[in-house]
Structure 1
Amino acid sequence: MHFKRPKIFGWLLKLYGREDTSEINRELPFAALLFTLLSASGVSIYESWKKLCSINLLPTFQKESREIVRQVEVLGYDPLTVMYRRANKTKSKNYREFLLGYVSSIRSGGNIVNYLKSKLRSIFEVQSASAIRSIEKLGTLVEAYAVMLIVTLCSYILFIVFATTSVFEPMKTSGTPGISTEVVCVLIFFVTPIISIVFMALAHTERKSNLVTVKQPYYATIVPLIAVSSFIAALYFVPQLEYFKGTEIFPLVTTICLLIISVPPAIVYMRITRVSNDAENAMPNFLRDVTEARKIGLSPEKSIIHATKRSGYGQFSGTLNLIRSQMEWG
């Protein structure tokens, strides 16, 4: 009798080793931009891959560049051969076309800079169209989330109104089962936040944030979450805290606990976004200052150093000062 082999382990290995094409497609425009700038500066493709190994803001391409450098330096393959093999192995259509086009342009003797510029333009156009579609889907998701919040709030208000009046009295006298206050509190203060988390997860899956490798808000949540969890557990095991489980005080306690968990990561995230927004707003002025310095005859390095000494860049000034210090130190 022939028995089929269990496929669960093979499926798990395949799932674990599956390539995340969404991350590659998200990082591809920025990696292509770096390749274009380095190629226009006279840097070879292999040196460009080596420089990508030290860029932590592109973790997927950092891993890819390390693999390419390993095959070149350890196994002795040619960089173009490695790129051709990686193109045939990857599941990302955009990344495959980028690698194959680069290899074909090199082997046919074409202009690499022109190819990279045209490819970069097409990649950003595709990303822009994808962003527009994602925003439309997010609009539908936000509308559904708003409807859910409105329905929940209206239900809670109706329950409070009915509970404070004599509407429930006939039901109590006739023995008709009703909704207890504890059930309503659980629905409002526990089920609703869980549904909100589900909506946020769906929104994050549909359109990921441009802030890459931002983990500080999650770290800021750990201590408040542990403290609130310990307090909630103590409510059920410490008799002296029985007062906080009362019908009148428990919703207030739950609200305070949720605020304690939410406020620290919100503050950390606001600080990060403030720096990011200042950088985006100050970048045109910074580039204008660099251009003006170039017009008076300064070298590119001197132009950048001269522009970083000016004020008015907001929180972005700290990053510019770091750039100036590293350039002055060589």
Structure 2
Amino acid sequence: MKKNSKNTLQRIVSQITFHNTWNTIIEDINSDVIFSGKPLDTIKLLNQIRKYMIISAFVIFPLSIFMFVYVSPIFIATNLIWILIFAYPKIQQSQLSQTRKKKVEEELPYFVIFASVMQSVGVSLYDSFQIFKETMIFTAVKNEAQLLKRNVEYFGLSQMEALEELGRTHKSNLLKNLILGYTSIWRSGGDLSLYLETRAEEFFTHLKQRYQVYTNNVSTVIEALVTLLIILPILIMVVSFVLPGGSIEQVGLLASVGLPLFAIIMGVIISSIQPASFNSVGLDQKLLSILFGVGMVSGLGIYLIYHEVWLSILTGFLIPCSISAILTGRHINEIVKLERDLPNFLRDITEYKKIGYDVLLAIINLSKDNTYNSAFAKKLGEVGMLLDNGISPTESVKATNFRSHFTKMSFYLLAYIAEFGGGNPKNLETINAFITNAKNTVKEGTSAISALAIIVFAAPVIMVFTAGMIQSITGSIDSNLGPTIKDASTSSLGLNSNFINMVTITPEFISVIKTLIVTSSVLGAFVITKAIDFTFYNTWRVVVIGIITLVSTLYLDSLTNTTNFDSAFKNLSFK
């Protein structure tokens, strides 16, 4: 009897605490943890989540009832916090597995060509993972290599079993098919080199399709950019000139909140659809902090001197962006020069190999010839000098800083080919063909977008022209009908002076319009920079558009000081 009572009590407690449901959740999250590739004590995490839910129930529920009764019914929605706490582990692990999948698929085309070349010199796919991990070129492949190494060295699996386990516990179908196809041919004794060569071609086709899809999608985003950051401000500007005194706050809110929010959203969208760029471009956090401080100080200083918000904002962007453009421009110029002569260098290495030269001797000889541009010759000279002094090929390449990931990857391939004592002209031609085709694919993808950037450069001129024309029209009306409207408002119409203030174009209103033009132009420049250069740091477009905006806005000042729009053109001399 006591035993039955005890079992009944356990069942009741189990139902109250959702014990069975909790076990199901643990199993589900355990599956997500396996796909995320990161170790996690699921039971410990969920026990902590359960405690947080119980504690929050005693706090949130009474608070929500109180706010519901005495403040607003909408506060009953605060109980949704329980659902967020409950769903957090599932959301977190799903996000980790999706991030792992995305990053690996971005790096696979480059890794497969690497593995294909290494397989031809007798290095297995497992060893290629471990070698690639040492190059520090791609972080996602490095993480997968660490999981493989763990399974072999700590869990006692063979290399083939570790590869199969990695394939089965990964959400990327591309990686899964690559690995399981490789192990299948390995078991059957097939030609692994031929298999990886074929898959390398497939992955390159996939990379090319990704750039084509990105070009098509980003064109839509740029159309939205033109609509939200150029056409919308123009429409708001036109409408605001009807009642300038009553629209200052709305235009100011659009310039300070609306447009930055639109720009951030479009920047996030572009980042999410953009193929990964592995070039080393940008500024470190310390320098970014310094530039941010310079921008704040310069913007504040200009405001204290001239008391113009638009000029303060523009100066706060122009000075740090000019410095960033100079520094980042050097990085990009170096990358362009390295990638320009890289195919020529690989072709020269191939020719040396055909006449029987070792790869190391070929690199040393070419480093002493002045046949390449200054940037490439400098990096080649650094590697050649280290090799000539007896440093190992991989250590020589590792000690040299390459900003171009194509160049870095090529030198690592040559170093490993030399260290493993293999390689033939066909391997070198394969590397050269892949690098050349990949470069052309990236160039084609970005050149199509560059044509759309012309609209962003013209935007400040268009907005200033529109503002000046409307100002001229309304100014003419105000000068001709202003006394009549004033007399009518104070006599027969019985209106007070607020009406006059609402329809009068004041200096404050013109200042807000200028701020709208500056904000729209600068933010548009940042977004288009991200779309074309795959980074926000290459800010030369921001600087150029900022200067165009400054000149155009000063021209708007000249329109403000003239009686009408036509007289502004009379003041211009074309002699």
TM-score range, shorter chain: 0.7 to 0.9
Question: Mapping of 1:12-23 within 5 angstroms?
Answer: 12-15=91-94, 17-20=96-99, 21-23=101-103
1:172-321 counterparts in 2 under 5 A?
178-180=246-248, 183-188=250-255, 191-212=258-279, 214-216=281-283, 220-229=287-296, 243=304, 246=307, 249-311=308-370, 312-321=372-381
Instruction: Kindly provide the amino acid, as one letter, of the partner of residue 192 in structure 1.
Output: L
Mapped partners of 1:23, 1:107: distance in 2: 29
The alpha carbon displacement at 1:227 in A equals 4.5
| Cα pair 2:106 2:276 within 8 Å, conserved | no
Measure how far apart 1:152 and its partner are. Answer: 4.7
User: How much does 1:117 deviate?
Assistant: 0.3
Q: Which moved more, 1:313-322 or 1:3-12?
A: 3-12
What residue number does 1:141 align with? 221
- C-alpha distance in 1 between matches for 2:133 and 2:316: 43
Q: CA deviation at 1:219?
A: 5.2
Structure 2: which amino acid aligns with 1:316? F
Give the AA of the match of 1:250. V
Q: Deviations over 1:223-262 (max 9, x none)?
A: 2224445777x79xxxxx984684xx11101111122343
Distance 1:183 1:259 in 2: 26
Looking at structure 2, the residues matched to 43 and 157 of structure 1 have their Cα atoms a distance apart, in angstroms, of: 65
Q: 1:152 to 1:211 in 2, by over 3 A?
A: farther
* Aligned counterpart for 1:11 among listed residues 63, 78, 90: 90
Deviates more, 1:94-103 or 1:138-147: 138-147
For 1:138 and 1:214, locate their aligned partners in 2 and report how far apart those are by CA, in whole Å.
21
Separation in 2, partners of 1:242, 1:252: 7
Q: Which has the higher contact order (CA 8 A, sep 6+)?
A: 2
Question: What's the % identity of the aligned pairs?
Answer: 20
User: TM-score, with normalisation over the residues of structure 1?
Assistant: 0.81
Q: Distance in 1 between matches of 2:323 and 2:383?
A: 30
Query: Deviation at 1:323?
Result: 2.4
Structure-1 separation of matches of 2:106 and 2:319: 34
Q: Does 1:89 align with 2:188?
A: no
CA distance in 2, matches of 1:242, 1:134: 41
Q: Is the 8 A contact 1:290 1:306 kept in 2?
A: no
Distance 2:288 2:275 in 1: 20
Query: Shift of residue 90 of structure 1?
Result: 0.2
Alpha carbons 1:294, 1:300 under 8 Å: kept: yes
| Mean Cα deviation higher: 34-43 or 188-197 | 188-197
Aligned residue identity for 2:110: F
Segments of structure 2 that go 5 or more residues without pairing to the other structure are 1-14, 23-82, 392-575
- Kindly tell me the number of residue pairs found equivalent between the two proteins: 309
How far apart, CA to CA, are the structure 2 residues paired with 1:78 and 1:127? 32
For residues 225 and 196 of structure 1, the distance between their equivalents in structure 2, rounded to whole angstroms, comes to 19
CA contact (8 A) 1:308 1:317 kept: yes
Q: Residue 88 and residue 295 in structure 1: after superposition, are their counterparts in 2 closer, same or farther (change >3 A)?
A: closer
Aligned residue in 2 for 1:323: 383
Alignment of 1:59-208 (within 5 A): 59-152=139-232, 154-155=234-235, 158=238, 162=241, 168=243, 178-180=246-248, 183-188=250-255, 191-208=258-275
Which residues in structure 2 correspond to 1:46-57 (within 5 Å)?
46-57=126-137
Distance in 1, Cα, partners of 2:256 & 2:374: 39
| In 2: Cα distance, 1:314 partner to 1:190 partner | 46
Runs of 5+ unmatched residues, structure 1: 173-177, 236-240
Q: Alpha carbons of 1:209 and 1:310: their partners in 2 closer, same or farther (altered >3 Å)?
A: farther
Output the amino acid matched with 1:109.
G
C-alpha displacement at 1:38, in angstroms? 1.1
Distance 1:243 1:302, change over 3 A: closer
Q: Does the C-alpha gap of structure 1 residues 189 and 212 become closer, same or farther in structure 2, counting only changes over 3 Å?
A: same
Q: Distance in 2 between matches of 1:156 and 1:251?
A: 17
The structural deviation recorded for 1:10 is: 2.6
Q: Distance in 2 between matches of 1:87 and 1:2?
A: 40
Which structure has the larger Rg? 2
Q: Which amino acid aligns with 2:87?
A: I
Q: How big is each residue's C-alpha offset from its partner over 1:49-70, in whole Å with a ceiling of 9 and x where there is no partner?
A: 2212212221000111112112
The offset of 1:158, in angstroms, is 4.4
Counterpart Cα distance in 2 of 1:24 and 1:103: 19
8 Å Cα contact 2:337-2:373 kept in structure 1 = yes
**Contact persistence 1:19–1:91 (CA under 8 A):** yes
Q: Deviations over 1:101-149 (max 9, x none)?
A: 1101110000110011011111111221222112111111112212333
Whole-Å separation in 1 of the counterparts to 2:93 and 2:107: 23
**TM-score, normalization: structure 2?**
0.49
Residue number in structure 2 paired with 1:175:
none
Q: Does structure 1 conserve the Cα–Cα contact (< 8 Å) formed by 2:214 and 2:275? A: no
Q: Distance in 1 between matches of 2:92 and 2:209?
A: 34
Contact map agreement 1:49 1:69 (CA 8 A) in 2 = no
1:27-86: CA deviation from partner (whole Å, max 9, x where unpaired): 011111111111111223343222122122210001111121122122221010000001
Does the 8 Å CA contact 1:35/1:45 hold for their aligned counterparts?
yes
